[in-house]
Amino acid sequence: MNKTTAAITAVGGYVPDFVLSNKVLETMVDTNDEWITTRTGIKERRILKEENAGTSYMAIKAAEDLIKKGNVDPSEIDFVLVATATPDLPVASTAAYVASEIGAVNAFAYDLQAACSSFLYGMSTAASYIESGKYKKVLVIGADKMSSIIDYTDRTTCIIFGDGAGAVLFEPNEEGLGVQDEYLRSDGIGRQFLKIDAGGSILPASEETVKNKQHYVYQDGKSVFKFAVSNMAEVSALIMERNNLTHEDVQWLVPHQANKRIIDATANRMGVDSEKVMINIHRYGNTTSATLPLLLFDYEKQLKKGDNLIFAAFGGGFTWGSIYLKWAYNS
C-alpha cells in the first residue's frame, strides 16, 4: 500500500479593498516611492478598514472563497488551523470563531503563532495530522491584520506591512503528491530584533505602555535582514540537496514576501530563475502569515499536477524553514 501524503486540494484568498500606495505613504511619513521600491519591492498594500473587524473577518472570507471554489462541505472539515500573529482577541481562539462562522461544525480549531513562519509551520502540522491517518480534511488559514499593530508615524515599519488572508485545504493523497519534506528551525536570539514590547505577560498594558507606543511592532530591520537572507537561502538550498533536486526540477519557489531582496537572494542560492519565483509583494507588502497562501491564491491557475514547489519563510522569534511539496491538481 502507498504511503499517505498530505496534498493541497483547494485554495482561497481575500485582501481588503482599501489600497495604501507608496504615494499616499509619502504624505504620512518622511519616505518616498523610490526608496520603498528599491529597498523592499513594495508598491502598495491593502488595509482592512471595516469597523469592528479583526483578523477573523479576512480569515472567514478566504475560507468561504475556498469552500465555494473547491465545492467543499464545511461540516466535513476535521480541523481548522488559523496561523496568525494578530488574533482577534487575546486568549479567545480566533480559529474557533472562524470554524463556527464558516459552518465547520464538526471541527476542532486552534491558532498557531510563529510570526511570519506561522503558515509554514501550520502546513507541517496539517501534513502530520493527515499522514498519521487521524484526520482527512484540514483547513489551514494564514491571516493577519498587521495594520492593527503598526505605528503609521514610524517609517521603518509602516511601509512594509499589509493586511490579508489565504486558505488551503489539505487532504490525504495516495499518488505521492503533497508534502514531501520539511526543515523547520527557530532561534530565540531573534526576540530582541522583531517584537512588540508591551501587551504580553512580561509587560502588560498600562497607561504608560500606551503613552510610550509600546504596543506597536518594533523591528531592527538591518539585523533581521541579515539573518533572513542567510537562513532562508540556506534551508531552501538544503531541502533541495537532500531531495536530490536541481534547479531544473523545481517549478516554483514560494517565498515569504518580506523583502524582494531577501527573495532574490534565496532564488540565487537555489539557482532558480526569476520566472519561477512567485511574487506579489509589490501588491500586498508583507502580510505576515498570509503571504504564502496568497501566493498560491494568485498563482493557482499556473500550477500543474506534479509541479515541485519549495516554500520558504523567515520571521520573528526567530522562526524559519522550508517545505518541499508536489502540487496535486490542475485548475
Residue pointed to by grid coordinates 522583531 = 194
Beta carbon of residue 219, minimum distance to ligand UT7 (angstroms, whole number): 6
- Cα angle: 5, vertex 316, 325; to 5 degrees: 20
Distance of CA 127 to the CA centre of its chain: 16
Candidates 67-75, 133-141, 153-161, 207-215; binding stretch for ligand UT7 (CB under 6 A): 153-161
Candidates 8-16, 60-68, 101-109, 219-227; binding stretch for ligand UT7 (CB under 6 A): 219-227
Instruction: Kindly identify the residues of this chain, within the stretch 40-69, that bind ligand UT7 according to CB under 6 A.
Output: 40
Q: Is the peptide bond before 297 cis (omega within 30 degrees of 0)?
A: no
* Rounded distance between C-alpha atoms, residue 277 and residue 247, angstroms: 12
Site string for ligand UT7, 17-36 (x = CB under 6 A): --------------x---x-
> Which residue's CB is nearer to ligand UT7, number 100 or number 156?
156
Using CB under 6 A as the binding rule, whether residue 39 contacts ligand UT7 is answered as yes
Cell of 106: 464538526
* Rounded distance between C-alpha atoms, residue 96 and residue 56, angstroms: 10
Beta carbon of residue 248, minimum distance to ligand UT7 (angstroms, whole number): 28
Residue among 116, 158, 173, 259 flagged as catalytic: 116
Beta carbon of residue 1, minimum distance to ligand UT7 (angstroms, whole number): 41
Q: Binding ligand UT7 by CB under 6 A: which of 315, 325, 326, 328?
A: 315
Q: Which of 265, 263, 258, 266 shows the shortest CA–CA distance to 288?
A: 258
Is 247 part of the annotated catalytic residue set? no
Residue among 22, 158, 256, 259 flagged as catalytic: 256
Instruction: Say which amino acid occupies 206.
Output: S
Using CB under 6 A as the binding rule, whether residue 225 contacts ligand UT7 is answered as yes
* Rounded distance between C-alpha atoms, residue 281 and residue 62, angstroms: 18
Using CB under 6 A as the binding rule, whether residue 286 contacts ligand UT7 is answered as yes
* Rounded distance between C-alpha atoms, residue 292 and residue 279, angstroms: 10
Beta carbon of residue 150, minimum distance to ligand UT7 (angstroms, whole number): 12
* Rounded distance between C-alpha atoms, residue 271 and residue 252, angstroms: 12
Instruction: Kindly identify the residues of this chain, within the stretch 112-131, that bind ligand UT7 according to CB under 6 A.
Output: 116
Is 243 part of the annotated catalytic residue set? no
Using CB under 6 A as the binding rule, whether residue 221 contacts ligand UT7 is answered as yes
Instruction: Kindly identify the residues of this chain, within the stretch 244-263, that bind ligand UT7 according to CB under 6 A.
Output: 258-259, 262
Residue pointed to by grid coordinates 496568497 = 294
What Rg, from alpha-carbon coordinates, does the chain have?
19
> Which residue's CB is nearer to ligand UT7, number 39 or number 69?
39
Q: Where does residue 1 rank: exposed (0-12), middle (13-18), buried (19+ CB within 10 A)?
A: exposed
Is 116 part of the annotated catalytic residue set? yes
> Which residue's CB is nearer to ligand UT7, number 77 or number 290?
290
Residue pointed to by grid coordinates 519563510 = 313
* 140-177: b (≥16 Cβ within 10 Å) or e: bbbbbbbbebbeeeebebbbbbbbbbbbbbbbbbeeeb
Q: Binding ligand UT7 by CB under 6 A: which of 156, 186, 243, 280?
A: 156
Beta carbon of residue 228, minimum distance to ligand UT7 (angstroms, whole number): 4
Instruction: Please list the active-site residues.
Output: 116, 256, 286
User: What is the binding site for ligand UT7 (CB under 6 A)?
Assistant: 31, 35, 39-40, 116, 155-156, 159, 221-222, 224-225, 228, 258-259, 262, 286, 314-315
